[in-house]
Structure 1
Amino acid sequence: METREMIYDVMDACLLAGKIMLQSGAETYRVEDTMTRIASSLGVELTHSYVTPTGIVFSVEGTRPAMTRLIRISNRTTDLKKVMQVNDVSRRISGGSIGLEEACSQLREIERSSETYGIWTQIMAAALASGCFTIMFLGGWPDFLPSLIAGGAGYYFVAFFHRLIPVKFFAEFVGAVVVCVVSLGFISFGLGNELDKIIIGAVMPLVPGLLITNAVRDLMAGHLVSGLSKGAEAFLTAFAIGSGVAVVLSLL
């Protein structure tokens, strides 16, 4: 029979793994499956987990009183490298190559690790992607540079305002406004031909593609609460982007 202290340590490891994955953009069912596998591999059976985008509840049966833990998820981003690293730790735990103490140490190291790319690298990547999206949407090469600059500026303002005011809707609204204003500026100076193609390409880095994908996958896996909440968040993000563009164009 496992001691309560050992079970608490296993629960800590499971919750830390789930927290990292959920904050990094993993699907709900993947988080629950990883937590269950880690607990089972470490000798704790009959576990239950309930995961939503804003919290994780993890419980162990067969103890008196019942052992249940809850953690709150406040910030969520996209870092698939951390998801991959936690999955790798989970596989090594299942394979018996590492134990509980080493697994906890590696998970804490993953949690402390900073973003893979700096903010300016992300901005440059978003700018380049914006220009390429414009060409993909049948825009002309004269529209490439305006879209590149507008997309980079919009992504910069989204990152800046999200750190200043942690309200996702507001940051993306401002980013869309900046994209539209910069695009209009290029068109007014004769640099660029098709305003719609420039704007569409420039806002694409702001579109919540991963969030939409995870919402659909969670719904298909039967996680209705998580799927609907992620779908609502994706809808609000898309609405913020559309509202920002519409406000600028309506003031012309």
Structure 2
Amino acid sequence: MGKEFPPTIEVIEICLLAGKIMLQGGAETYRVEDTMTRIAASLGIPHSHSYVTPTGIIFSTDGTEPAKLIRISERSTDLYKVTLVNGVSRRISSGELDGKGALARLKEIESADYTFPVYQQILAASIASGCFLIMFLGSWTDFIPAMIAGGLGFVSFIYVHRVVQIKFFSEFIASLLIGLIAYFFVYTGAGTELDKIIIGSVMPLVPGLLITNAVRDLMAGHLVSGLSKGAEAFLTAFAIGAGIALVFTF
């Protein structure tokens, strides 16, 4: 007897869930489409079609099942979940997981919270700010001011984003606070180079993954996704720059 495949509707659900988790975790558009296609082929649907943008996924097959759309409203950076979904895809391709097992595992990944505690994120942002200061040839005397400014700026970013669900606003407030703290340190004599302190402190807020994914999507031919991610990265960078510029203005 040949291998038994799950119903088409179940395969579509598996593919959409895998794509949703990856896109919310910060994966590139072409990687999401490739993973969905590979999962569908391994589960008995060799010809499938997917259209992925940063805000939605459309998936269909050549059968009688209608195309399905899911909306992506919240995106973050969680590359561990992307890795786990890639692992599920490989296990499906090798025959280690059937449809029901894959769906259960993907639901488990979706509901799990693998993010680090907030205090660890703040500590990492603080240390990274000081290290970026040194990387940009700053003085060691500004290491502690950069750590404090970067840490407090990241704290404001996290908690403002919880109150106002607009990322650009929280980036603006965080950079504004960083600029004020950096100016305070230089004004009181605790810091020496204002520009180096600010540059090092805002680096944890810079949308590096967005910029990278935008370029990779453009190179892969996904122009809509690449341009939209590039626009989002530009707006985020503009919000950071506007906050710092406001401090220098007043």
Provide TM-score, normalisation by structure 1: 0.96
Cα drift, residue 115 of structure 1? 3.2
Aligned to 2:231: 232
Aligned to 1:143: 142
2:9 matched residue in structure 1: 8
Query: How far, CA to CA, are the matches of 1:219 and 1:26 in structure 2?
Result: 14
Residues 17-166 of structure 1: pairs in structure 2 closer than 5 A: 17-63=18-64, 66-166=65-165
Q: Percent identity at matched positions?
A: 62
| Residues 145-191 of structure 1 deviation map (CA, whole Å, 9 limit, x = unaligned) | 00001001111111111111111110000000010011111111111
Superposition RMSD in Å? 1.1
Contact 1:46–1:62 (CA<8 Å) still a contact in 2?
no
What SS does structure 1 have at the residue aligned with 2:123? Answer: helix
Contact 1:181/1:248 (CA < 8 Å) preserved in 2?
Answer: yes
Q: Secondary structure at the match of 2:189?
A: coil
Letter in 2 for 1:46: H
What amino acid does structure 1 have at the position aligned with 2:142? Answer: D
Q: Give the secondary-structure state (helix, strand or coil) at the position aligned to 1:114.
A: coil
| Rounded Cα–Cα distance in structure 2 between residues aligned with 1:170 and 1:15 | 31
Q: How big is the shift at 1:45?
A: 2.2
For residues 114 and 73 of structure 2, what CA distance do their matches in structure 1 show?
A: 17
What secondary structure sits across from 2:7 in the alignment?
helix
TM-score, with normalisation over the residues of structure 2? 0.97
Unaligned stretches of 5+ residues in structure 1: none
Moved >2 Å (runs of 4+): none
Gaps in structure 2 of 5+ consecutive residues: none
The count of corresponding residues between Structure 1 and Structure 2 is 246
Secondary structure at the counterpart of residue 50 of structure 2 = strand
1:6, distance to aligned residue in structure 2 (A): 1.0
Write the deviation string for residues 98-156 of structure 1: whole angstroms up to 9, x where unpaired.
11111111101110111330111111101100000000000000110000010011111
Cα drift, residue 19 of structure 1: 0.2
2:178 corresponds to 1:179: yes
